Structure formats: structure tokens, C-alpha cells
Structure 1
Amino acid sequence: MSLTPAFLDELRARTSLTALVGKTVKLTRAGRESKGCCPFHNEKTPSFYVNDDKGFYHCFGCSAHGDAIRWLTDHQGLPFIDAVKELAAAAGMEMPAQDRQSAERAERAKSLHDVMQAAADFFTQQLGGSEGAAARALLDGRGVSGATQRTFGFGYAPDSRTRLRAALKDFGDAMLVEAGLLIQVEGKEPYDRFRGRLMIPIRDPRGRVIAFGGRIIGEGEPKYLNSPDTPLFDKGRTLYNLDRAAAAARKAERLFVVEGYMDAVALAQHGIGEAVAPLGTALTEAQLERLWRVVDVPYVCLDGDAAGQKAAIRAAQRALPLLAPGRSLAFVTLPEGQDPDDLMRAQGPGAFEPLVRSAQPLVDRLWQHELAAEPLTTPEQRAGFKRRLGDLVQSITDPSVRAEYQAEFRHRFDEQFARNRQPFQQRTPFYPMAQRRPGQKWTPPPPPVTEDAKRVGAAGGIDRVLAKAVLAGLVRHPAEIARHMEVLGGLRLAEGALGRLFEAVVDVALEDRRGDPLDSGRLVTILARSGFDTVAHDLLRADTMPYSFTRAGADEKQARDDLDEAIAILVARPEVDAALAEATSAMKARFTAEAFERQVALVNEQRALDERLANLVQANEDARALGLEDD
């Protein structure tokens, strides 16, 4: 089948978007458009508009946007081709002819859907019979109400090798094997896959049964048995309860990922319908993409035991390469040894919501996991910690998100170890710079650089304007010098007066061993003795610089945070520039797709750093405009 752009354009032209959306959303006329409350998020004042002339809908509250096809895929949960078929039928258009193989696959899939529904009906009937008493007792013992049992379609597979096969004999053994309902062993008769189990239907986003999960009744292994992969069912791409949870999630503006079927069922029974579960495996990339099609930041809410938390960190690590601006994960930590089903039965939804409100962002979960991985008392252990953080950052594909994680981890690392380290005189073995002879001037050691990096350094390397602003910030906030000693010590600062003054500032902070805090006045006095009186006073008067940390009267915490960010940018930019120079040189020597992608990624990193610097300037201007700075 070939869906040409001309066919799709004609389909959109023949479809009244207002009539289509109006089937489920109450719309009123607003000039040439129609408006209503957005179905994708909760709102009381309408901000959702439908424009028939232009053929699209748009929400000014949550930015949901699309055409008729997108409406059926996003709102109704239909696959793309099914959405096109439904619109074509309504518009009286013939679908393009299928080739023979496509037609056969479509017909076989339709027949398999019929098989799976027939099996679901059989299992449901058995649950209500005398043989289903033990399964009903299991559900009753777990507090699953009759209404919930009917909603989720629970059933029972009799403890027999032939009952289902006999009940569905009209479909033929071959189709039952293909649907995963029978097991075929060469040379033997096929037999029922599910026997003596509580049966849980697994549905696709349209609500059609595509597989089953069977829970054993009593003792035995495996506790849960899922259907094998079939033409209808791909375990790694399917999420249990997505057909019901998607609409609830868009309304609640949140979506939970829980560990198992019964967790999703328990939450739904207590009014939290926006929960899905993977099918006995760790979250896959395909499942993560499905989650992000519903909400930007799903909540991962796995069991509170060690296995559940290990699965949570695997999900965090697997999500990293797929992150994009605004798209992430959050983590709900349950009490140790409890899952959502236990929590709901013991305490109800009132105990769940506080846990959701204290959910961890992805960056916090990753940081805490690596921080607790091993002791961090020696330089080697801290270097290993830093390397692990770097490996996580490098796995992020999106350059802007990668740059933000790099800056965030660097900031946290500096905060963590600046706070925990001993005073300078007790750290001599860890600081070669502190082993100087009396009166010897400290010079920051040059970082190892390639020839390309040297050329970049000769062309400028360090941003002199930003370096001057950072130096002004350090003079105005001298307590910050010690916190950033190691980071700044690795920089090759500009030559001339600026570089000499920086070295002097660091020298003063390193040699000052008095108990009193080092304030700006005392720092300037000490610098004046070394001939830096004029330039130091000029830096303190640098109110023309567009940063909070260079200005008198700025909010102290904001100034410190902005100074941290400026130093992170100052450090990162030469590294990115040098790497870009090397990538460009490699491109000139030999063009490859990998080299080109590397060059593009580094250019994007440069832009991201420029944007971060611009944000510092804008935040300062906004604060001044709003009068947030002291006079």
C-alpha cells in the first residue's frame, strides 16, 4: 500500500475537523474557529481551538497540535494506518490497493484478533464456573472487586491440556499456535499453553486483546507466564493497560509506570487509572517512546525492594540516549518491601500521593546512585566517580541536554567535595600547588592539549570578556575562590594583566590561613600590596558587566549560582572549541559520516554554551527590570 502525499492531502480536505473533534469535545464557535476545553490536559478556561480552514487544532495551554490523522492517533490511540482507514471510510475514499502480501498479512491479523477475543471470552466464562473458584478466591483475597474484574477482563484457564483447543477448534490448530495459545512440539499433538492460571488479557492501544498474562494459583513456577511474541504481540513494545491509561493520563497530566499487572489494577481500582506496566522485562527504548507520546515526564514507580530499585536505575540509564528538551523521567520511591498493590490495600491512595509529590527527577536518581556506588574518600575514588558521571553524560544524544547534564554534574561535584574536604593546610598531599616553597608564586598547570587545541588557544581559547567577569565575581565574592580552585587551576588563562591578576587572586586565597573569612575589602587590600590596586578596584566597580555576580546589591544566592554557571561555561568552552578544531581537521583530512556527525554535535554544543551565557545575561537584566536587586 502506498499512501501518497496527494492522497493524504485529499483525505484531510474532505474531513471536517470540527465535526471529528466535536464527537468527544464540546466546541463553541469563536469567529472563524471553534474552541473548547483541551482534552489533553485539565483546564477550566477554554484554550483549545479547531480551525477547519487550515485543517488543524491547537491548544495554547499545553501546545497540543495536529490534523485529523494526528487527532485519531493521539487522542483515540489508533495506529497511523488505522486512523487513515477510518477517515477514508468516513470521507467515502477508496484506500490505495494493497499488494498481495500486505493484504494477506492484514487478513491474517484480523483473524488473529478474532481468535484472541474468542479466547478471552472463553477464559472469562471459566472464571465464573465451578472450576474458577480458586481463581475467584485469589482475586477476592487481593481485594479486586467484581467491577474491576469485569473492567480488566480477568479469566481462568482450566488445568487441562485440551480445553481451550477444543473450545476454539473452529479456528484450527495452526492459527491457535500462531496466536500463542497452543504449544506445538514436533511429532506430538498441540496442547494448551495456559493451564490452571488466572488469566489477564493484554490489549493494544485500541483495546483489542493481543496476548495474555497467566498467574499461577498457589505455589509453582513461573509465577507469571506471558504469551510469546506473535504477529499481534511484541513484548518489548507493549505496555499493559495503555489502552485505558492513555486517556486518563492526558486528563491527569501524569502517567505511572509500575512493575506488574496487579499494581496497575490496584491503582485503577483506587481511582488512579493512569498507570501502565511493562511485561516482565526492563523498560525498553520502544516502551519509553510510547510513554513520551502520552506525557513528557512519566513517573517510574517500581517496587521498593532491591530488585525494583535496580530496575529503576536501569530504566534511568536506558532513557539517557533518548532524552530531549522537556522530555525526561521522574522516580517515585515506595516504602521498602512494598509495591503499589501492597500500598493501596494497606493504606489506600492517601499514602500514594505524598510519594508522588516527592518524586525524584532523573538527574537526582542518577547522581544519588553513582554517589552511593562506592566510598569517595580518596582522589582515585573521586576520579572514578567523576568518570562514571562523564560516561553517563556522553551517552546523552541531544547536545543541549548533554550540556545541561555536564554543567549540573560538575556543579554538584564541586558542591559535594568543596563542602566535605578538610581545610587547605590539612590537604597538602592532594594539592601539588600547595607544596610550593615559601614565597614561590603558584602558576596553574597547563592542561594537555593537541596541536589543534594549541591553535585554538593561540586564537583566543579562553573567552577574555567572560574571564574578566569571572575574575570580578571572584573579587566580589572571594569565599567562592576556594570552592573552584581545582576547576580554575586547570585553565590556561589569558596572558597579560588579566592572567597575572588571576594568579594573584588564587595565591591570596591559597596562602590566606587566617580564621576570618576573606572578604572583598581585605582581598583588595592584599592585592594592592602586589601592585594590583587600580585594576582590583576597577573590577569591583564593574557594574557595566551584565552579570549578577559582578554587581553590588545583587541577590547573594543568585550571584553565587550564576558565578558557578559562568565558571562552568568558561571551563567547557575551550574543551569544546579544541574538540571542534580536531573534528574539523579530521573532516578536512577524510570525510566520513561519523566525523560529520561529530562536527555537527560539537557545533551544537557551542551554541548551547552560548545560549547558557545569554541566559545569565537575560536573568540579570530581568532582575534589574523587576527591581529584584537591592539599591
Structure 2
Amino acid sequence: MISQDSIEGLKSRLDILDVISNYIEVKKAGTNFKAICPFHDEKSPSFVISPQKQIYHCFGCGAGGDAIKFVMEYEKLNYPEAIEKLAEQNNYTLHYTDNKQAQKPRSQLMEKLSQWYQSLLNTMPTAQAYLNERGVSMASIEKFGIGYAPDSFKTIQFIKTNQFSMREAVDLGVAGSEGGREYARFIERIIFPIHVPNGAIVGFGGRTITGHQAKYVNSPQTALFNKSRLLYAYDLAKQAIYKKREIIITEGYLDVVMLHQAGFNQAVATLGTALTPEHLPLLRKGDPRIIMAYDGDSAGRAAALKASKLLSAGGFDGGVVIFEGGQDPADMVHAGQIDTLNAIFHAPKPFIEFVLEETLAGFDLRNPKAKEQALHESIGYLKTLSPLLQEEYKGFLAAKLAISPSLIRLTQQHNTPQRAPLMPTAYDVWELSLIKSMMEHPALGDQILDYISADMLQFHGHEFSLVLQRKFDDPQLMAISLNESIPSYSDEQSLHNELVTFLTQHYNRKLKKVLTQQHDSFEKKSFLIREIRGKITMLKRGQLVTS
């Protein structure tokens, strides 16, 4: 079993916003963050994340918990598996209660292998010559950890000699096994380590220099490596991205290396795949302007078109730069065209304009039927945008098609009404405030318990009992904790005044009940009336009374 101290140590390193925003898009909403819930179908965001309280809760379906619970639910893992996954992602060593040696972090194999690849680069003149020909400096080689993978036998031998298991190597995607034969996945290639945002190596990209059929290969999908969520060199670029509020996305590793070398240290690259919706949470961090820097060939333009549709529909700001004539950013840096690159990146084609122009370019607009089809396809795209942007670009599209704007009819989007918060039907703000105060200010809890019990609450006695049982991960308590419309009392005087008001109302209700009771004896009824009236008198003087 994983030791509790180890789990608590990992928890202290986790930030729930970082964990969740690696999986889904989140947006600032007051002191909290909101998102479309990943656990049920909804149109308006009811999923709330509190960085301060380190919890999340969905007011639509009731899902809630901490960072570990989120990974469990999203990845469909049990508790130990989620702990181990988060430990791997954060380079944290777990310890176990069976007195065995602490588990070796799985990323240690990747780190050792990367260091070995880097050391081999110095022994490979062919690889060095290629990098030198492309203009890659020694400083860049060191910064990006560029290395060289030898033949398969040497890599397998290195893994075994360093006492790593082949099963671990296969699980991490650096080796494979077929029909009892073990082999390395990266053979005679220049190697580019791929990191998660916190810096841990989770995969590799390799470029052939000996004529292999595949020019570039990446690590396969593993428990740690998901190319649809990662961007090459994001770990190196993130500070510049946050500072400049800009990110340049390219297609290749060398483009990134050379752009950083030229001072464009906000550059990253996709990993052999087009930009996907899973990339958007990462791109949303820091709210940067996004520049897509793609090749001018058909594949590059198609990828830029797909990315532009995705980003514009997601409300991102930025645009597209297309490199024509077979050139790419790496070539231009090597040729010393830094000023030209700077000017290009400062004037990208806005996403919406690029999508509309590329869409129309696919039709023969001299043909009326083709022109009509181009109009319908363009309108279909515009409908993915906000109503304001639809209206703004109606004239642009009309001008490109040389038609009247009145022919462009757009249906405004209507947001689906947000689902009501998951709260009890009987809803009493004061009682909920009392419960919230007990959760947020435990020191006040003892004072509350001196005067109030669960049976005194008309609507939320159950939730009061949950607090007493310290079941803070209960969905009902999480909903109360994250509901910003429910205030809490943070000082004793405010709480004292509220308790006086509540208790006065409580004992007035109790007095009325006693006065209307028929089955009690005269003596008992008289005693209760005197007792309750005495408490009400004390409360009117501002004195609290016990039940």
C-alpha cells in the first residue's frame, strides 16, 4: 500500500486548477473557475473549480472532489492508480508501507535514456553535421536535450544494463515486443525529448538521418504520453508565453529550436498531429494570442484551416502565417531573416478571415452553383461563432463573394438555459450560511454547537449533520462551499448577532407550538411556557441560550 505520508506529500504538491486544466478548458469566473462538465452532457458551464479550497463541484450532476478524485473519474482509475499517475506526472517518489524500497519513479528511465542519447550525439559525426547544416547551435542542442539513438541492440542493452525492466520500457513507449522479440522504437535517429508542462520527460521524437522510410516518428500513446494534449517545448516556452501573452505554434521540432535560437522563445510545435480540442486547455493558460505558423503546401494549409476553425469557434485571438516557396521558420532563422520573421508574426491573417478565404478558394466562384455552395459552407462556419462575430463578418463574406449582405442570413445562437444548482428543494440561505461558516471557520464551529443542534434547523439539518461527521467530500457540502451566493460569517460578533436572531425565531416557533398543544398537562405546559419565554427574554437582551 502507498503510505499515507506519501499521499499527503503528493497532495501538497498538487494544484487542482493545473490538474483539471490539463484535461478540460477552464475560464475565470470571479474567484473561481468554470468549465463545461466532462461528466455529463451540458451546454452552459456548471462545473466550478475553487483553487482556494482545492475542490471542484458540478452544480448540474453533483460530481465533486479534489484533484485525485477528478483523475479517478476522468481516467477511470482506482485510487492507487490515480495517485501513481499524478506522482509520475509530478516527478514525485511514492513510498509504500510494505517496507520495500521506495518505488523508482517511472520517469527515471526516460531521464536516463535521454541523457544517454545526448552523450551519443557527440560520437555521431553524421548527426552533428545535419544539425550544423540546419544552423542548430551547441547552446540549443543543450537547451533542448537533443541526442542520438543508435541501433536497436545497443538501446535494449542499455535498458537492461541499467536494471530497468523491459516491461517498463514497453509501457513507456521506448521499446516494443513482438513474437518474443524485443526491439527499440527509435533507431539511428536524432532524438528530441518531449516533456509535459512541468518538465518531466514522457516521450521522444526522432528524425532519421540514415534514410528510414518514416522521416519522423514519435513515441506511441502511453499512460503518460498523449500527443493530442502535449506541445513540444511548452515546458521551455511557458514563461515567455505568459509574459508575452503570445504563443507561436509550428509543425516541426527544428522550427521550434531555431525560433527559440532567434529569440522567439514562445514557440512550440504539435507532435505529428493536427491541433485537437484536447490541446485547447493548454492553449487557454495565460490567455495568449495564438499564431499558427504552417507550411504553404496542401497538407500545411489543410492543417491551418482545421486549426483556425477550432480556435475561432473556441474564441481564441490570433491568426495564421503561411510559409510559401518551400521555406519554413527554421530556414529563415538560418538565413538570418529574423526581422522578416518578426514582421510576419506581428501581422498574421486573422483566423476567421483565413477560414473564409480558404473555404472560398476551394470553389470556382465564376460558376453560380459553386458560388451558392461556397456561400452555404461559409455560412455554416460563421454559425459556429458568437452572434457579434457573425454580424461583423457578414460584410466581409459578402464582399468576397461580390453579393449583397442581405443574402447572408445567419441564425443567432441561443444558449441553452443553465441547469439549476444541485441544491435541496427547500432552500434557506441563513441555514446554509451557518453550515458554510462551520466548514470555512472551524474555530467558530464549537461556538455554534454550544447553541444549535441539527434538529433545530428547518431545512438543512442533514447537511449540518454531514459537517459534524466531517464528510466534506459529500456533494451537498461541496455545492454549499462553492456557491458564491451563500455568505459565511468569519468573526465572532457577526456570528453572535446571527445566532441571537435565529434562536429568537426558533424559540418563538417553539412557544407557538407549545401554546397550541392539547395533550400536555397544565403543569407541564406552564413549565415549558415559562422556560421558553425566559430564553426569549435573554435573547432580546443579546444573550445566547443553550437548548
Does the TM-score normalized on the shorter chain lie above 0.5? yes
Alpha-carbon distance in 2 for matches of 1:123, 1:152:
12
The counterpart of 2:169, out of the listed 159, 166, 176, is 176
**Does 1:271 find its partner at 2:263?**
yes
Query: Is residue 185 of structure 2 the alignment partner of residue 193 of structure 1?
Result: yes
1:370 Cα deviation from its structure 2 partner:
2.0
Q: Deviations over 1:301-331 (max 9, x none)?
A: 011333212211121123344x23xx23411
Partners of 2:400 and 2:265 in 1: how far apart? 40
Aligned to 2:388: 404
Q: Secondary structure at the match of 1:302?
A: strand
Work out the CA distance in 2 between the residues paired with 1:320 and 1:358: 17
- SS state of the match for residue 228, structure 2? helix
Structure 1 residue aligned with 2:251: 259
Deviation at 1:277, TM superposition (A): 0.4
**2:245–2:288 CA contact under 8 A, matched in 1:** no
Superposition map of 1:222-237 within 5 A: 222-237=214-229
CA distance in 2, matches of 1:311, 1:101: 36
Aligned to 1:497: none
- Cα pair 1:270 1:348 within 8 Å, conserved: no
C-alpha distance 69-221 of structure 1, shift in aligned 2 (>3 A): farther
Aligned partner of 1:219 in structure 2 is 211
Cα deviation, 1:547-593, whole Å, max 9, x if unaligned, reads xxxxxxxxxxxxxxxxxxxxx9xx76xx66xx98xxxxxxxxxxxxx
Q: Is 1:119 paired with 2:108?
A: no
Instruction: Tell me the CA shift for residue 599 of structure 1.
Output: 7.2
SS in 2 for 1:255: strand
* Bigger shift: residues 295-304 or 141-150: 295-304
Q: Give distance in 1, aligned partners of 2:310 and 2:333.
A: 29
* CA–CA separation in structure 2 for the residues paired with 1:174 and 1:281: 27
1:343 maps to 2:347: no
1:355 paired residue number = 344
CA distance in 2, matches of 1:185, 1:335: 43
Q: Using a 3 Å threshold, how does the CA distance of structure 1 residues 414 and 155 change in structure 2: closer, same or farther? A: closer
Distance 1:149 1:234, change over 3 A: same
Indicate the percent of aligned positions where both proteins have the same amino acid.
27
Aligned to 1:207: 199
The one-letter amino acid paired with 1:297 is: R
The 5 Å alignment of 1:291-302 reads 291-302=283-294
Aligned to 1:166: 157
SS at match of 1:333: strand
8 Å Cα contact 2:208-2:216 kept in structure 1? yes
Shift of 1:368: 0.8
Q: CA deviation at 1:260?
A: 0.6
2:293–2:323 contact (8 Å) kept in structure 1: yes
Give me the TM-score of the superposition, normalised by structure 2.
0.57
Change over 3 Å in CA distance of 1:360–1:108 after alignment to 2: closer
Amino acid at match of 2:386: R
Q: Distance in 2 between matches of 1:166 and 1:178?
A: 17
Distance in 2, matches of 1:248 and 1:383, equals: 45
- 1:112, 1:232 within 8 Å by CA — same for their partners in 2? no
**CA offset digits 1:373-401 (Å, max 9, x no partner):** 2122354333212210121123x2xxxx4
Separation in 2 of the partners of 1:416 and 1:101?
A: 55
Q: Return the offset for 1:108.
A: 6.7
* Partner AA of 1:292 in structure 2: R
Larger relative contact order (C-alpha < 8 A, sep ≥ 6)? 2
Q: Please give the per-residue CA displacement for 1:480-512, whole angstroms capped at 9, x wherever unaligned.
A: xxx56x55xxxxxxxxxxxxxxxxxxxxxxxxx
* 1:247 shift after superposition: 0.5
Task: Give, in angstroms, the shift of residue 180 of structure 1.
Answer: 1.0
Displacement of 1:230 in angstroms is 1.2
**Are 1:333 and 1:355, in contact at CA under 8 Å, matched by a contact in 2?**
no
Corresponding residue number in structure 1 for 2:446: none
Deviation digits for residues 84-117 of structure 1 (CA, Å, limit 9, x no counterpart): 9xxxxxxxxxxxxx94444455567762211100
Question: Structure 1 length as normaliser, TM-score?
Answer: 0.50
Does the CA contact (< 8 Å) of 2:241 and 2:288 recur in 1? no
Say if 2:207 and 2:216, in contact at 8 Å, map to a contact too. yes
Amino acid at match of 1:205: P
CA distance in 1, matches of 2:232, 2:154: 26
**Secondary structure of the structure 2 residue equivalent to 1:168:** helix
Distance 1:359 1:67 in 2: 35
Contact 1:255 1:298 survives alignment (8 Å): yes
The verdict on how the C-alpha distance between 1:157 and 1:69 changes in structure 2, with shifts beyond 3 A counting, is farther
Partner Cα separation in structure 1 for residue 88 and residue 399 of structure 2: 61
The CA deviation string for residues 248-277 of structure 1, in whole angstroms up to 9 with x for no partner, is 112222110001100000000111110010
2 CA distance for matches of 1:55 and 1:308? 40
Match of 1:133 in 2: 125
- Per-residue deviation, 1:291: 1.4
1:331 equivalent to 2:320? Answer: yes
1:245 aligns with 2:237: yes
1:58-101 residue CA offsets vs partner (Å, 9 max, x unmatched): xxxxxxxx96799xxxxxxxxx959x9xxxxxxxxxxxxx9444
CA distance, structure 1, for counterparts of residue 208 and residue 239 of structure 2: 31
Aligned pair 1:307/2:299, yes or no?
yes
- Cα distance in 2, alignment partners of residues 158 and 299 from structure 1: 36
Offset of 1:226 from its aligned partner?
Answer: 0.8
Pair 1:143-2:135 in alignment: yes
* Structure with a larger share of its residues in helix: 1
Structure-2 change in CA distance of 1:68 and 1:598 (3 Å):
closer
Deviation at 1:151, TM superposition (A): 0.6
SS at match of 2:355: helix
User: Any unmatched runs of 5+ in structure 2?
Assistant: 3-7, 16-29, 33-49, 55-65, 71-77, 92-104, 420-547
Q: Name the residue aligned to 1:372.
A: 361
| Partner Cα separation in structure 2 for residue 252 and residue 598 of structure 1 | 35
Cα deviation for residue 408 of structure 1 reads: 3.1
Counterpart residue type for residue 369 of structure 1: E
For residues 55 and 290 of structure 1, what CA distance do their matches in structure 2 show?
20
Structure 1 unaligned blocks of 5 or more: 2-6, 16-53, 57-65, 71-79, 85-97, 422-482, 488-567, 581-596, 602-631
Aligned residues: 345
State the one-letter code of the partner of 1:165. Answer: I
